Amino acid sequence: MIFSTELLIQTVISGLMVGVLYALMALGITFIYSIVKTINWAMGEFYMIGSYIQFVAVHFLLGPRWWWLAALISMAGTFLIGLLLEPILIKPMYSRPMQRRDDYATVVTIALLLLLRSLAVALGGPYQYRPESDLSVIWIGPLPQEGARVAASVCALLALAAFWIVIKKTWIGLALRAAAQNRIAVQTSGVDVYRLDAVAFAIGVALAGLAGALLAPLFMVFPTNGAVTSVKGFEIIVIGGLGSIPGALIGGLLLGLVESLGAAFISSPYQNVYGFLLVILILIVKPNGLFGERGREA
């Protein structure tokens, strides 16, 4: 392995940039969990849907100049799909008496994962696609970066900031935070908690859809492109703490850094292993994650 200060800086920048994109994915997972108390195993498939919408919008309708509009359409599209699916798949968990909610959610979301993946193969075939990008290479310090990657990282940071503002400064954010703390209390205050669930689920999958759209020119579009990214998302929520927004961002950055530095300076074939080692380390030192809080269930 070659080592130099310049190479180290380049690797760190590369790791941080990919980390921001991982964080966007993790945020969707952690947000859905904090409100609906459900792990959505089909999160990678919403990432995949976002990437397909981005490809269709850029390649067939808008052209590369309007990539940002396509990304917004992708996010809105996945939001709507989430809003439609939640009452059918997730709501029965709460609206009907059910003893094993976690098992139900696992089975339902894994079935959804298989359905969406098969649909993608049926509609688009098993091929790879890439939405065109006319953004030129941008230098970040000593590291040349694809314009699409820089744009994706900036948009991811903007999306994280917008999400934080919605959650902290708006009525719907207040209601969502309240539902995350105590569903029954929210219901007794006259808030339709089922509608909140649907909104939270839709926002969560829309974040994944946005990640898919932003990463489509970099990591390409194919039926299983969300699989690896969603695994990263789950690693990040263990690192950052389940339900924590800052945890998702810091966890994403840490994972991106560890993977890049490990691949560049220790051993490249184990790039995916370094993230798991970090997860194990965090589980030993801080089992609830860096920003996670110990929960209590009645």
Residues that bind other proteins (CB under 8 A): 1-2, 4, 7, 10-11, 14-15, 18, 121, 125-130, 132, 137, 143-146, 149, 218-220, 222-225, 228-229, 259-261, 263-264, 268-272
The CB-of-236 to other proteins minimum distance in angstroms stands at: 14
Q: Select 174 or 228, whichever has its Cβ closest to other proteins.
A: 228
Please state the closest distance from residue 6 (CB atom) to other proteins, in A: 8
Identify which of residues 201 and 234 has a Cβ nearer to other proteins in the complex: 234
The DSSP-derived string for the chain is ----HHHHHHHHHHHHHHHHHHHHHHHHHHHHHHHH----TTHHHHHHHHHHHHHHIIIIII-GGGHHHHHHHHHHHHHHHHHHHHHHHTTHHHHS--S-HHHHHHHHHHHHHHHHHHHHHHHH-S--B-----PPPEEETTEEE-HHHHHHHHHHHHHHHHHHHHHHHSHHHHHHHHHHH-HHHHHHTT--HHHHHHHHHHHHHHHHHHHHHHHHHHH-B-TTHHHHHHHHHHHHHHHH-TT-HHHHHHHHHHHHHHHHHHHHHT-GGGHHHHHHHHHHHHHHH-TT-SS-------
CB of residue 2 to other proteins, shortest distance in Å: 4
CB nearer to other proteins: give 131 or 241.
131
CB-nearer residue toward other proteins: 78 or 229? 229
State the minimum distance, in angstroms, from the CB of residue 265 to other proteins: 8
- CB nearer to other proteins: pick between 68 and 127: 127
CB of 111 to other proteins, least distance (A): 18
